[in-house]
Each structure stands twice: as C-alpha cells, then as structure tokens.
C-alpha cells in the first residue's frame, strides 16, 4: 500500500469514528430531551447509525453539524410538573416556567462570545424557553458569562459531545431519578413536616441533575433497588 493510500485509509477510519461519536451524542441528547418530558418520536430518539449517516452526510463522508439542530415542545405532563398548584391564596397561578427547547451542535474548534451571543439571540428571537449548545471543545469562560446575563430571557445549557457518548442514567449503578411536581413537593414536605432545606441535597452540577435539567429549589425522588424491600425512595433538594 502506498503512502497516499495509507493516508486515505486512516482519514476514512477517522471519519467513521467521528461519525459514530456524533451519532451516539445525538442519541443521548434525544433521550435526555425525552426524559425531561418533551415530545419526540421514537424514530428520532432511536435513529440507527445508517439512517443518521443518510440524513446528515454532507456527501464527502463528513457529518454536517449545522443540520443536526432540532426542537421539541413540552408534553402536558411536563407542563403540569412545572405548574404552580391552584390554592385559596393563589387561585390563578402564573404560567409554568417551561416551554419549547432548541438543541444545537455548534461547529468550530473555538467557541467564544460570538457563538454564545448568536445562540442566545436565536433563542429569544424564536421564542425558545430553553437552549442546549453541544460542542466538541470547551467554551471560553467569557462566553459562559453570557448564560446568566440572558437568564431572564432564555435558559441556556451546555454539554460537551464527550459527555453525551454514554447515557449515564442507563448505568446499572445509577438509580432512577424522578422530578416531583410543585404539588408533589408541597405534599411531601407537609407529610413529613419538613422545610425543603432540611432534605438531603443534590447539586445542580451533579451529572444526573444536569441530564434532567434540575433547577434550584426543585425536589427529585430517587428510587433505588433493595434486596429486602424491593424498592425504596429517598428525596433530594436541588441547590
């Protein structure tokens, strides 16, 4: 085999590996969005590698990330989880803090302020409640400062492609986490006569908390397997 042929084979193998990585990240982020309660078809979530290549191949063997952007709307169940309960004091609660989501695979070897500002503008102009930016490299610290600056207009989350190659919630050692609705949270605290701050805590930066998009003040139910009880539940307060 000549040096040129060898180089072509190596380039093809590298391209195949990169395509497989992007497919795995695509699958995981779709599972993430679906697990949060957004509406996606099973065909989108369970797309095969062959279908992924057919859909996003640029023609030269590379995957076009700019075509991998997708959106989703919250299900009725998700809206209910984020809704304030109707009470005597609050017979007409404010609209739930939830809405459509946009997921974008950002291209580039350097992701800075320009990229983040553009994404934030897209989200606000197109009325997206939440946006997820997925990158192959770390975002600059200066660009990350834009996220809290635009928090009153839109929520932005970031993930590395490497973080999404495996769905951590599918690991046998990771128990099932279920976000409680505001009504369920209130009932839990009343039942045990607790203040929310008396519950054990989970950090918003915890990998599962990031996967589920948990927000400060929310309570998550953690269901573990038990050899004696079958299953038992514990609760964590997000901080």
| Entry pTM | 0.91
pLDDT tens digits for range 47-67: 999 999 999 998 777 899 999
Query: Tell me, what's the pLDDT at 8?
Result: 47
Specify the CATH number for the domain of residue 195.
3.90.940.20
Residues 83 and 69 in one domain: yes
Which one of 108, 136, 166 terminates a domain? Answer: 166
Interatomic CA distance for residues 162 and 60, integer angstroms: 24
Query: Do 67 and 138 fall into the same domain?
Result: yes
pLDDT at 238 over 80: yes
What total of structural domains would you count in the chain? 2
Looking at 151, 166, 181, the residue that finishes a domain is: 166
- 137 and 115 fall within a common domain: yes
User: Taking 80 as the threshold, does the pLDDT of residue 216 lie above it?
Assistant: yes
- Owning domain of residue 136: 3-166
Taking alpha carbons only, the member of 140, 222, 165 closest to residue 31 is: 165
Sign of the dihedral through C-alpha 227, 233, 235, 236: positive
What pLDDT score was predicted for residue 231?
A: 87
Instruction: For residues 179 and 74, state if they share a domain.
Output: no
Output the pLDDT for position 5: 45
Strands 130-135 and 155-160, sheet pairing:
parallel
With bands split at pLDDT 50, 70 and 90, how would you rate the model's confidence at 228?
Answer: confident
In this structure, the answer to whether residues 77 and 180 fall within a common structural domain is no
Instruction: Specify whether 162 is located in the same domain as 179.
Output: no
Q: What's the pLDDT score for residue 12?
A: 52
Instruction: List, as one string, the DSSP characters of 66-125.
Output: GG--EEE-B-HHHHHHTSPPP-SS-SSPPPPS---EEEEE--SS-B-HHHHHHHHHHHHH
Q: What is the arithmetic mean of pLDDT over 87-96?
A: 81
Mean pLDDT, rounded, for 224-239: 88
Residues 50 and 161 in one domain: yes
> Looking at residue 9, what is its pLDDT?
44
Mean pLDDT of the chain: 92
User: Is the pLDDT assigned to residue 6 strictly greater than 60?
Assistant: no
The pLDDT value recorded for residue 144 is 98
* Residue 1: predicted pLDDT: 55
Q: Can you tell me whether residue 63 is helix, strand or coil?
A: strand
Instruction: For residues 31 and 104, state if they share a domain.
Output: yes
State yes or no: pLDDT of 80 exceeds 50: yes
pLDDT (tens digit, 9 = 90+) per residue, 115-132? 999 999 999 999 999 999
Mean pLDDT of 27-51: 97
Q: What pLDDT, in 10s, does the model give residues 148-191? A: 999 999 999 999 999 999 999 999 999 999 999 999 999 999 99
């Amino acid at each position: 085999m000549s040096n040129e042929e060898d180089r072509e084979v190596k380039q093809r193998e590298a391209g195949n590996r990169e395509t497989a990585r992007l497919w795995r990240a695509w699958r995981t982020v779709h599972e993430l969005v679906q697990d949060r309660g957004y509406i996606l078809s099973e065909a989108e979530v369970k797309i095969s590698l062959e279908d992924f290549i057919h859909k996003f191949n640029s023609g030269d063997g590379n995957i076009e990330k700019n075509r991998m952007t997708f959106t989703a709307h919250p299900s009725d169940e998700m809206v209910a989880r984020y809704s304030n309960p109707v009470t005597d004091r609050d017979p007409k609660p404010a609209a739930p803090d939830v809405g459509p989501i946009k997921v974008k695979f950002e291209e580039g070897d350097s992701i800075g302020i320009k990229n983040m500002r553009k994404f934030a503008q897209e989200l606000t102009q197109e009325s997206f409640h939440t946006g997820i930016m997925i990158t192959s490299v770390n975002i600059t610290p200066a660009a990350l400062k834009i996220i809290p600056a635009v928090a009153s207009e839109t929520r932005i989350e970031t993930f590395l492609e490497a973080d999404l190659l495996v769905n951590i919630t599918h690991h046998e050692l990771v128990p099932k986490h279920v976000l409680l609705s505001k009504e369920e949270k209130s009932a839990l605290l009343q039942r045990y006569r607790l203040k929310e701050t008396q519950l054990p805590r989970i950090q918003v930066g915890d990998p599962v908390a990031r996967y589920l998009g948990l927000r400060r003040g929310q309570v998550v139910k953690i269901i573990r397997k038990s050899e004696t009880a079958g299953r038992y539940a514990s609760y964590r307060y997000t901080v």
